[in-house]
Amino acid sequence: MVYKNFIFPYLLSIIFLISACENENEVLPESVLPENTQLKAAQSAPNYQLYNWMSSINGNTSLSLLSIPGTHDSGAMHEPFYSVAKCQNLNLKEQLEIGVRYLDIRCRHFHNTFEIHHGSIYQKINFDQVLEQCFTFLNNHPSETIIMSVKEEYNPEGNSRSFEATFNAYVSKNANRWYLNQKIPDLDEVRNKIVLLRRFNVASGKGIAAINWKDNALFTINNPYSTIKIQDVYKVSNNSKKWDYIVSCLNTAKSDPSANLYLNYSSAYRPKIFGIPDIRTVANTINPKLLTYFNGAPKGKYGVVISDFTSSELTGAIVASNF
């Protein structure tokens, strides 16, 4: 039957999605999100808006000493079935305008180009379009920077060069707009630039290395020039346990006087029948808890908080903890 032929390939896609995407995250339902992306001034510092909040940060401050809103699977806006692949309601431009400064970009290496995927699911955007939105934003707001996690996703196909070589080809178009050093920079070093957090192998050092990524875990990556503390427990049986992981990481970051970089994934999923991920269930609980936490949080360093289906309300509360 036609219906059977239609469903079968998508079930295969879901199976690939589970195995290929190591960081599935739960998403707030659209009803919880603001109806528009109109910018709001941060409550505790009315002299800035979310699109330029870094303009109020001392340029000698290390990025590791800030509280930074981020998004998980930042380009994932499409899915074959409800709640199996989509992680954001806002496109990249909208995310940046509401204060997001950490983007999680998953690239399938396809015919010597990068297509943005979430597991096997193509997200109808390519890396050129990602960079166009990022550079346009930075041109309009040169006080800002963007930390970009770049990870190889899904199966490569039709390539005559390495993933690194294709990445280098993209960088060469705007080489002066990238920060590719291995140490975590101070803000003034990277205003108006993209900071590479590298989740792919290279022949020699390039960007802040985050390649020894553990699956569904709390872990530390020790590099010669940086230490990264990561909470990425993404497969959960109940929301309370995930919340405990998030709060523990937030509190540890706040009390850590060192320059360690904290990446705290608030995203997770609860597996349903046949292991199919339900991405919306966890964030429906977690995002309101995050908002309450940051609305009551004192000024301090809380690290990068990486969420599904973020909103200006949530990013504003995270940003406000810097002031």
The pLDDT tens digits for 48-63 are 999 999 999 999 999 9
Measured CA angle at 189 (ends 192, 43), to 5 deg: 65
Nearest to 198 by CA among 169, 229, 167: 167
Could you tell me the CATH number of the domain that includes residue 244?
Answer: 3.20.20.190
Per-residue confidence (pLDDT) for residue 4, from 0 to 100:
35
Q: Which domain holds residue 176?
A: 2-320
- Residues 248/253/256/258 CA torsion (nearest 10 deg): 150
pLDDT tens for 79-121 read 998 888 999 999 999 999 999 999 999 999 999 999 999 999 9
Per-residue confidence (pLDDT) for residue 272, from 0 to 100:
86
Name every residue whose Cβ is closer than 8 Å to that of residue 77 and which is 6 or more positions away in sequence.
86, 87, 88, 89, 91, 123, 124
- Residues 73/74/76/82 CA torsion (nearest 10 deg): 80
- Max CA separation in the chain (angstroms): 64
Q: Looking at residue 214, what DSSP letter applies?
A: P
Q: 267 pLDDT band (50/70/90 cuts)?
A: very high
For the record, the structure tokens of 311 come out as: 């909103």
Number of domains the chain contains: 1
Alpha-carbon span 236 to 270, nearest angstrom: 5
Is the pLDDT at 17 greater than 60, yes or no? no
Using DSSP's 3-state secondary structure scheme, residue 101 falls into: coil
Is the pLDDT at 144 greater than 70, yes or no? yes
Nearest to 175 by CA among 197, 193, 150: 193
- Answer for the pair 88, 308: CB distance below 8 angstroms, yes or no: yes
Is the pLDDT at 204 greater than 90, yes or no? no
